[in-house]
């Protein structure tokens, strides 16, 4: 079955550490997105990519980095510069925005 | 500034008790309005896209409607399995991103 796979489901980060969240899709979608979800807030866009080797900053890109070397993969790195990284991270893809996004199952990141 | 406001924040219904969720939006030009369902600890699941005032879409017990300033998600005779958080999002003309509301958490009791 086609879909988006995010891993790991749970991730713990120590202070000063960089961590990378994986997002893989086999839907042949061109566009991929990373959102952050915090309690009481709407999903906020971190980065997005419309094609391979190209990506744009979203509303809250500071402290995050991405790459898009393959169509299927869009990993997100949470760097030590991100001061409040504890959140639920969602990856999504779309082939046609009118059909909405397909979301992964999310990664819950906690700072310990 | 483009903005989405959902109300109520939480809604408790008895099984079979119909109700509506509201999504008010401010956007420079609407390209599309989206409804998603999200279960705890999972990613949102796409439900509907609406494009223009007067448009309606239905899926099982759900019906989404759109006016120039708001959208309603009507739930008819809900069942406990309809319990979830319902998210509304808008996309403005000329942009690639969705702006999400904070959601309505729906609980349906048997």
For every one of its 110 residues, what pLDDT tens digit does chain B have, with 9 covering 90 and above?
889 999 999 999 999 999 999 999 999 899 999 999 999 999 999 999 999 999 999 999 999 999 999 999 999 999 999 999 999 999 988 887 889 999 999 999 99
Q: Give the side-chain half-sphere CA count within 13 A for B33.
A: 33
Task: Please give the pLDDT value at position A98.
Answer: 66
Residue of A41, A42, A87, A91 to mutate when probing chain B, most B C-beta within 10 A:
A42
Task: Please give the pLDDT value at position B94.
Answer: 83
Rounded Cα gap, residues A77 and A99, in angstroms: 28
Task: Please give the pLDDT value at position A92.
Answer: 96
Q: What is the mean pLDDT of residues A67-94?
A: 95
The pLDDT of residue A97 is above 70: no
Q: What is the mean pLDDT of chain A?
A: 93
Q: What is the mean pLDDT of residues A72-90?
A: 95
- Closest residue in B to A96 (Cα) is B96
Cβ separation of B42 and A106 shorter than 8 Å?
Answer: yes
Q: Which two tokens stand for residue A26?
A: 């086999």
- Closest by alpha carbon to B103, among B23, B27, B34, B29? B23
Chain A residues lying within 8 Å of B59, measured CB to CB: none
B4: nearest CB among A6, A42, A104? A42
Please list the residues that pair with B11 across neighbouring strands: B106
Cβ separation of A106 and B43 shorter than 8 Å?
Answer: yes
Chain A residues lying within 8 Å of B34, measured CB to CB: 100
Range from A2-6, A41-45, B75-79 that averages highest in pLDDT: B75-79
The pLDDT of residue A40 is above 70: yes
- Closest residue in A to B49 (Cα) is A98
The pLDDT of residue A1 is above 80: no
* DSSP code string of chain A: ---EEEE-SEEEE-TT--EEEEEEE-S--SEEEEEEE-TTS--EEEEEEEETTEEEE-TT-TTEEE--SBTTB--EEE-TT-S---EEEEEEEES-GGG-PEE---EEEEE-
Chain B residues lying within 8 Å of A4, measured CB to CB: 43
Compare A81 and A96 and report the one with higher pLDDT: A81
Cβ separation of B87 and A103 shorter than 8 Å?
Answer: no
């Amino acid at each position: 079955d086609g879909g988006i796979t995010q891993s790991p489901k749970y991730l713990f980060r120590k202070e000063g550490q960089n961590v990378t969240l994986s997002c893989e899709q086999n839907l042949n979608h061109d566009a991929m997105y990373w959102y952050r979800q915090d309690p009481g807030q709407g999903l906020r866009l971190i980065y997005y990519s419309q094609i391979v080797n190209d990506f744009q900053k979203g509303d809250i890109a500071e402290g995050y980095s991405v790459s898009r070397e393959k169509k299927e993969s869009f990993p997100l790195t949470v760097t030590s510069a991100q001061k409040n990284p504890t959140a639920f991270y969602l990856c999504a893809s779309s082939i046609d925005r009118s059909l909405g996004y397909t979301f992964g199952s999310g990664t819950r990141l906690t700072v310990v | 500034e483009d903005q989405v406001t959902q109300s109520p924040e939480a809604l408790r219904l008895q099984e079979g008790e119909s109700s509506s969720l509201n999504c008010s939006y401010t956007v420079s030009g609407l390209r599309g309005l989206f409804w998603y369902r999200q279960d705890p600890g999972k990613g949102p699941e796409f439900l509907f896209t609406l494009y223009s005032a007067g448009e309606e879409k239905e899926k099982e017990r759900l019906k989404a409607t759109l006016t120039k300033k708001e959208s309603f998600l009507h739930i008819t005779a809900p069942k406990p399995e309809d319990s979830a958080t319902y998210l509304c999002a808008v996309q403005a003309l000329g942009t690639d991103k969705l702006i999400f509301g904070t959601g309505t958490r729906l609980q349906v009791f048997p």
